[in-house]
A and B are shown apart, each in its own frame.
Chain A
Amino acid sequence: MYSYIYDDFLNNKKYLKQLKKIENALIDLGIGGKICRLSLFNNIKELIADEVHKGSENIILVGNDKTINKFLNILVEHKNITIGLIPVGQEQNTFAQLLHIPIGENACAVISKRKIKNIQLAAVNNYHFLRSIHFAPQDGVIECGNNFNIQSLSEQTMCAIINPIEDEKQEGTLRATIEEVPEKSILSSILGQQKNTSIKSVFPLQKIYLKPKPSLSLIIDQQKVIKTPAMITMSQEKINIIVGKDNTIPQEDQ
């Protein structure tokens, strides 16, 4: 049984046509189901619990990255369900790209094929996230377990903690990346070039503790913001999610 949860931004009239196409595609493929629309009056936790209680084994989110962010920590509590995504709109659909799911009604065929991937989540202060945390440290030190610290020697740095969900070989370990934000001179702006002689640092890590002074803002999955101190680890929790076919050419191992 399929339950389709529409995010509240889809109430806008501009999405009406696209939603109609999606609904028709689902019926044609024989995977129609109950449609639930998010609104101010819905409690997300109760909505999911209700659908699972009624026997729904497939919760399909219709929306974008924000939709996954809203539901992830609730869906993780329900072990036996499969999650799907039908991305709508051209913006904020990076998860769909990572999971090889096309935008709009073409995603319905992916849902119908049910290629399921078991993905391990990461967590920051017990809040689960799917893909990444970004932050810009200012004289910050990143503690990695009890053994060593990483410090940026550059004034303008961008850091990311990545959960490599797209690569089975790298699953189970976080990747911390640190790179210098290039300076933009007027000439380079005119020529369309950016000065950047720095080499991106990559650290495979199990645990990262961030406690810079002053406190930093961490952007989780490009949606939610929390403040440090923060303990970032791979989580024990996994989700089953329907993914598309990976048509990229695999790189040869070195």
Chain B
Amino acid sequence: MFNRNIDNDVLPNTQETVIGNTVKVEGEFAGDGDVIVYGVVNGSLSTKKYLEIGETAKITANIEAESARIAGEVKGNVTIKTKLELLNTAKIIGDITAAIISIEAGATINGHCNMSGERQPISTNKTVEKENKEATV
């Protein structure tokens, strides 16, 4: 069982992290290079570079990256410095902050979307009622 051919231990020629579809990561995961997720992540997920979330991935975590492409499910806030791409199978339950967003038809977002680069405070019900009264007067 352990007489392994050397070819089985060949590694990808980059510093990237790959979380396969049969793996679960729990805790605070912080990568320096590109991160590609096909499996399950619970906790928090961040990288200084590119993040790709595949269609089979299920993330229950806040996400931070330089840029990202999401095709799977994310329950948590998504904070991207530059470009965020949501493919048609993406499901985001949480707030999104990004400089540039591309959303394919079919992607679902349940949360706030902020493109100023800063998180805005959420309006309370009383503030909304006051604004509505002022508007009708």
Q: Which chain A residues have a beta carbon within 8 Å of chain B's beta carbons?
A: 94, 97-98, 131-132, 134, 136, 147-154, 157, 160, 162, 164, 167, 169-170, 173, 175, 177-180, 197-204, 219, 222, 251, 253-254
13 chain-A/chain-B pairs, Cβ below 8 angstroms: A150-B23, A150-B24, A151-B25, A152-B22, A153-B22, A167-B11, A178-B20, A198-B20, A198-B21, A201-B18, A204-B31, A204-B32, A253-B14
Chain A contacts of B129 at CB under 8 A?
none
Interface hits, B58-113 → A, CB 8 Å: none
A199-B38 in contact (CB<8A): yes
Residue in contact with B23 in the complex, picked from A160, A197, A201, CB distance below 8 Å = A201
B26-A178 in contact (CB<8A): no
Residue in contact with A204 in the complex, picked from B3, B23, B33, CB distance below 8 Å = B33
Given contacts A162-B11, A178-B20, A253-B14, 10 further A-B contacts (CB under 8 A): A94-B6, A134-B4, A148-B26, A149-B27, A173-B15, A199-B20, A202-B11, A204-B32, A222-B4, A253-B13
Task: Identify the closest chain A residue to B32 (Cβ).
Answer: A204
A201-B19 in contact (CB<8A): yes
A199-B13 in contact (CB<8A): no
**How far apart sit A199 and B54, CA to CA, in the bound complex (Å)?**
11
A204-B15 in contact (CB<8A): yes
A148-B25, A148-B29 known; A203-B17 Cβ under 8 A: yes
Q: How many A-B residue pairs have CB under 8 A?
A: 98
Chain A nearest CB, measured from B34 CB (Å): 9
B25-A200 in contact (CB<8A): no
**How far apart sit A101 and B60, CA to CA, in the bound complex (Å)?**
48
* 10 pairs of A and B residues whose beta carbons are closest in the complex: A148-B27, A201-B20, A199-B20, A154-B22, A202-B18, A201-B23, A251-B13, A219-B2, A151-B24, A198-B22
Chain B contacts of A136 at CB under 8 A?
1
Chain B contacts of A148 at CB under 8 A?
25-29, 43
B17-A162 in contact (CB<8A): no
Contact of B40 with A by CB under 8 A: yes
**How far apart sit A178 and B91, CA to CA, in the bound complex (Å)?**
27
Chain A nearest CB, measured from B108 CB (Å): 24
**How far apart sit A20 and B20, CA to CA, in the bound complex (Å)?**
50
A97-B6, A175-B11, A251-B13 known; A153-B18 Cβ under 8 A: no
Contact of B118 with A by CB under 8 A: no
A222-B23 in contact (CB<8A): no
Chain A contacts of B31 at CB under 8 A?
204
Chain A contacts of B24 at CB under 8 A?
150-153
Residue in contact with B20 in the complex, picked from A94, A169, A200, A254, CB distance below 8 Å = A200
